[in-house]
Structures are given as structure tokens and as C-alpha cells.
Amino acid sequence: MDDLVVIALFRHGLTEENKRKAYLGWSDSPLCPTSIDNSQMRMYDCYFSSDLTRCILTGKMLFPQAVPIRLKEFRELNFGQWEGKTYEDLKHDSLYQYWLTAPERFSPPNGESYLEFIHRVEAGWNTVIEKILSGPFKSAAIITHGGPIKFLLSKFAPVKKEFWSWQVPHDQGFELIFKREQLRRGERCISLQEVPLTVKRHG
């Protein structure tokens, strides 16, 4: 239908820090060696990406011909002094334990609060929506991180689920399908579908 808009959310590929289950926010980490079969990927009218290297490189693998608009707003949460550390490294830190139980109330030292994070991601989303609504666009793809995708799904998926309830694997994307007027009004989408990615890891 002419009034439908598709917005796809893709998480960056698995990184070396992800593999060892370390917190990875504004710092970066090399992607693990992979081969992606993008022959079955649909094309979108416009593309956006976090400005971090792991997202930019994933975008090049998924959509080689695209030139995404890079937005800092789509970065992962800034974990501050916890960047690069694992649960085992932090489990005796009392602030870390408080944060695990109430991440909305506590923040990583020299990092970002949950409120700062969601306001930033909302600003990035609004930039995407303005671009779609101001042009003849019916679809967009966003290459970002697990945290922003969980937040956007919690806010716009047709079935309401909390942020922490969403699973966002590296080898799967999500397409949110909106009626154009719903998108303009900031309402939930009418349909959500998974987009499996064909990925083969080397080694």
C-alpha cells in the first residue's frame, strides 16, 4: 500500500569484544571474520548508521552500494569506565551491582545515564523520520547497536515489551512497518517482522 513505510533495524556484526562478553559502548572493536550473503537483502530508499566503525563496516557488507548518513545519536550506551570490562571484572563493584538491578537510576562512572541514552536515540530517530516524511521515501535501514534497537522496539513494536525483554542477535534484523500517518504521530507500528541475515563465521 502507498501509505506504508518500512524501517529496518540492523545490529552490527559480532566483534571481538562481544565475543568475550565485554561492555562495548563508544569504544570500538574489530569485527570477527565473517562472510555475509547479501544477495537476498532487499534495498531501502535511504540508509543511516551509527558513526562507529563496527556499524559502518557492517553497513558496507550488507549494502555495498549504499552511502549511509552517519549519526552519533545511534551509538550504543556509553559505559564510561566499564568499557572493555566483563561481568567477572565488575561483579565485586557495588555501583555495578546497583546498576544491574536498577539501570534507570544508576549510571556507569564517567558514562551515560539511561535517560541521556534514550533521549539521544530519540533524537536520531526523529532525524530519520523527518528525512522519510520530507521526501518520497517508503523505506529506510538503520545500522546500529543492541541498545538502541531494544529501545526502539520497546517504544514502537506493535506488542509492548520492556527494553530488557528484547533479544537482538547479531545475525538478525527487524522491519517495523508503519502507516505513514502513524509514523508522523509517533505511534507504534502495525507490524514487525524479523529479517534473518545469512552469515558464515570463519574459524
Confidence category of residue 1, pLDDT binned at 50, 70, 90: low
Confidence category of residue 172, pLDDT binned at 50, 70, 90: confident
Instruction: Say if residues 34 and 58 touch (Cβ distance below 8 Å).
Output: no
CATH T-level topology, domain 4-201? Rossmann fold (3.40.50)
Write down the pLDDT at residue 199. 62
pLDDT of residue 88 exceeding 70, the answer is yes
**Domain parsing of the chain, residue ranges:** 4-201
Write down the pLDDT at residue 33. 87
pLDDT of residue 201 exceeding 80, the answer is no
Residue 133: how many other CB atoms lie within 10 Å:
12
pLDDT tens for 104-150 read: 999 999 999 999 999 999 999 999 999 999 988 999 999 999 999 99
Write down the pLDDT at residue 196. 85
Helix axes 114-134, 146-156, angle to 10 degrees: 70
Confidence category of residue 203, pLDDT binned at 50, 70, 90: very low
State the average pLDDT over residues 58-65: 93
- Give me the residue label for grid cell 563496516: 57
pLDDT tens for 5-32 read: 999 999 999 999 999 999 999 999 999 9
